[in-house]
Structure 1
């Protein structure tokens, strides 16, 4: 407890100092610890689930892809501009992001949704339509064409960064009406006519069906995928030409952000990770750290640290840093904790600069939100914090006197 209180004291001093002097001092480079200090190594991901490593500058001086050693950028927000320009917009920014020390980017769902050119991707119809089929009223997705997506992924990798796909596995949308023998009604569960011809689905693949009436949760009235059926398992993670392995081996995604994982058992993500691989983080929207830890363990995945998110809200907006002594996922297991200040779904923290100072000087895998970085906050200050995270980890420099 004494060390934790000292960390909070250092954080408070750092925040006050940083607010006044960040543009002058924090760009001078790393200090040399004197003999009276020791540097405590912090946890770093190396791109494989829960293993450790160090971030190594590439030959160009940019940071090699290294989740946790670098920083993740959420490269979108809700209702980005329509018109198929977003992939190209992001492509213009990845070099700057890489130079700033960002090691990975998280893209929105990349396949065609029911709303076609207006869809943010969370209403998936055809997992293999990346903007190259005339389907749901458009050829391109809201974000662009398949060629533009492939070019973006290629550029991200050229800049020594990783790229993660947002995967919506809980539900589908945009199917045709069919007679459903399990409900005795007509349901929009006929996905046999999708343009790609891959991963055809019928009412047998959705709840209720022959396996069970429901699973852990449904979302928004959308047809709820049943992951127990052989057809769903084969097409999601088993087949070499299925969704997971196609995204990884052909589209060259390095990892996954899984949407609404409350809606199905953690075994689904566990099976995906075992068969597909790549970095993995789940959106389990719950502030209970025990629940987050349970899910991450059973899914063999990282999880967004909603416990930390809500504690930061109370601590910084309520001016009570003692709340940061409470338990959070990054304290339970920093290998499995992805920390964040805001995202496309929720934006409740007012003192964002303090929150970014916190997550970028503590363990876990910190995420920066696109609009915070590009529009709303001081980019130079955020870049200073990214540099600290990647190089100094100054919150873990603890005097022997207090250790």
Structure 2
């Protein structure tokens, strides 16, 4: 939910630019595939080839032993004009070739501001750019046909597609007399073009079910999930929002917006009735709160605890912060890690942060603008390859100080794991570390170091990391 650029007037018909700010079943967890990932040949920032693997192959993405990587396929205020679905479609093959296993899309249905809306002010959940309402037929992102083409193309590339779901609040209703407030409220959604999920004042707080729930947002009508009618339309009936998105539009999972605004039981019920991968935006740095929500929602959650600790570590010269508690340490299968998103982008020293999330446990997310516009794509592709092929097993932190951080992934099911060495200092650093490997040659799979050391019989070895950068070590195979 965008925390800025919000202008709401409930005294007139127009509400301006909308807000933005699991135990998963194994067959729905994009990280549980135990098959081989593609190898990608890329170059280092100084032109030398990255050391990634023994060759290259082509074809559709298949998750490697390290699991999958999620691409956030948008940013705030992507170009208007209905071209975004086609823009993303044109990138899917390259993303798949790089090892991206899923793409998260912005809210896809028609919203209050029609062709100008980022979708976080939903009006008609079943209008994907095929009805003339709210001033346009297409959404900001394009037509329903183009969206369906994107999803079809992603599936052909063996990628999943996650829908951003905004069910805390609605916008764009007509005025009606409301006996629970004694005023007129913008809660009449009886004339929506799709004819599906018509709503009135009793479907929003305050109403016969009470005065409020966990939280409202920005003055928008606050949807009442306690109402069985609302529950039925969101996840119960065969043509409910969730089941329509999954069975008709073919979305594979859900990113739930602003879950602070309603109880975790809502997401739990959605997941139980609809299925698919799910992650909640619970904007809270308290890992206890994140874990509580994830367990009660039966869902993954964005790891805001790790996000703020990475800012402290990589921007403020304190890598010891990475010793602190995070959601991925509590339950990696319910932690979605990230370096930036459409709402918040506070980490400046991003490449070490990506090296961190792509070598550690959790489900890592790549932000569109970081990948396509702002950072070195080849270096990110190298990290994605390392994640998919080497980042396996539990994590052991081997050494930390203000400038240095070394951790080991302990390997799993025959995969050797890795050692990651992050160096925030202005000079090369070296450390003796205990590895997973006895009397075997290792190498830095980033290509940053040219060393090819052999581990001792007791598994110890000296490794190095370049200044203001990182190295990632595993068996030379």
> What interval of TM-score do these two structures reach, taking the shorter chain for normalisation?
0.7 to 0.9
User: How much has 1:61 moved relative to structure 2?
Assistant: 3.7
Q: Distance in 1 between matches of 2:60 and 2:247?
A: 25
In the other structure, the counterpart of 1:48 is 28
User: How much has 1:66 moved relative to structure 2?
Assistant: 8.2
User: How much has 1:166 moved relative to structure 2?
Assistant: 0.1
User: How much has 1:367 moved relative to structure 2?
Assistant: 0.2
Three-state SS of the structure 2 residue aligned to 1:99 is helix
Q: What TM-score do the two structures reach when normalised by structure 1?
A: 0.86
Q: Distance in 2 between matches of 1:364 and 1:106?
A: 16
In the other structure, the counterpart of 1:141 is 139
Q: What do residues 100-132 of structure 1 show as CA deviations (whole Å, max 9, x unaligned)?
A: 000000000000000000000000000000000
In the other structure, the counterpart of 2:328 is 330
**Residue number among 385, 394, 399 corresponding to 2:436 in the alignment:** 399
User: How much has 1:344 moved relative to structure 2?
Assistant: 0.2
Three-state SS of the structure 2 residue aligned to 1:353 is helix
Q: What do residues 144-165 of structure 1 show as CA deviations (whole Å, max 9, x unaligned)?
A: 0000000000000000100000
User: How much has 1:44 moved relative to structure 2?
Assistant: 11
Q: Distance in 2 between matches of 1:188 and 1:245?
A: 27
Q: Judging changes above 3 Å, is the alpha-carbon distance between structure 1 residues 311 and 55 closer, same or farther for their aligned structure 2 residues? A: farther
RMSD: 2.1
In the other structure, the counterpart of 2:179 is 181
Instruction: Name the structure with the higher strand share.
Output: 2
Q: Judging changes above 3 Å, is the alpha-carbon distance between structure 1 residues 192 and 68 closer, same or farther for their aligned structure 2 residues? A: farther
Higher mean displacement: 44-53 or 232-241? 44-53
Q: Distance in 2 between matches of 1:390 and 1:306?
A: 23
User: How much has 1:212 moved relative to structure 2?
Assistant: 1.1
Q: Distance in 1 between matches of 2:298 and 2:30?
A: 9
Three-state SS of the structure 1 residue aligned to 2:28 is coil
Q: Judging changes above 3 Å, is the alpha-carbon distance between structure 1 residues 67 and 81 closer, same or farther for their aligned structure 2 residues? A: farther
Q: Judging changes above 3 Å, is the alpha-carbon distance between structure 1 residues 238 and 66 closer, same or farther for their aligned structure 2 residues? A: farther
In the other structure, the counterpart of 1:319 is 317
User: How much has 1:64 moved relative to structure 2?
Assistant: 2.7
Three-state SS of the structure 2 residue aligned to 1:102 is coil
Q: Distance in 1 between matches of 2:147 and 2:226?
A: 31
Q: Is the 8 A contact 2:258 2:282 kept in 1?
A: yes
In the other structure, the counterpart of 2:100 is 102
In the other structure, the counterpart of 2:353 is 355
Structure 2: 5+ residue stretches without partners: 1-22, 39-56, 393-407, 410-417, 419-434, 438-457, 461-477
**Residue number among 292, 298, 301 corresponding to 2:299 in the alignment:** 301
Three-state SS of the structure 2 residue aligned to 1:172 is coil
Instruction: Name the structure with the higher helix share.
Output: 1
Q: Does 1:366 align with 2:364?
A: yes
Q: Judging changes above 3 Å, is the alpha-carbon distance between structure 1 residues 341 and 44 closer, same or farther for their aligned structure 2 residues? A: farther
- Equivalent positions of 1:184-263 (< 5 A) are 184-263=182-261
User: How much has 1:51 moved relative to structure 2?
Assistant: 8.2
- Equivalent positions of 1:29-108 (< 5 A) are 47-48=27-28, 52-57=32-37, 61-64=59-62, 69-108=67-106
Higher relative contact order (CA 8 A, sep 6+): 1
Q: Distance in 2 between matches of 1:44 and 1:227?
A: 23
Larger radius of gyration: 2
Q: Distance in 2 between matches of 1:66 and 1:387?
A: 9
Q: Distance in 2 between matches of 1:331 and 1:264?
A: 26
Q: What do residues 295-339 of structure 1 show as CA deviations (whole Å, max 9, x unaligned)?
A: 000000000000000000001111111110000000000000000
User: How much has 1:54 moved relative to structure 2?
Assistant: 1.9
Q: Is the 8 A contact 1:45 1:335 kept in 2?
A: no
Q: Judging changes above 3 Å, is the alpha-carbon distance between structure 1 residues 44 and 312 closer, same or farther for their aligned structure 2 residues? A: farther
Q: Judging changes above 3 Å, is the alpha-carbon distance between structure 1 residues 211 and 96 closer, same or farther for their aligned structure 2 residues? A: same
Q: Distance in 1 between matches of 2:24 and 2:268?
A: 22
Three-state SS of the structure 1 residue aligned to 2:130 is coil
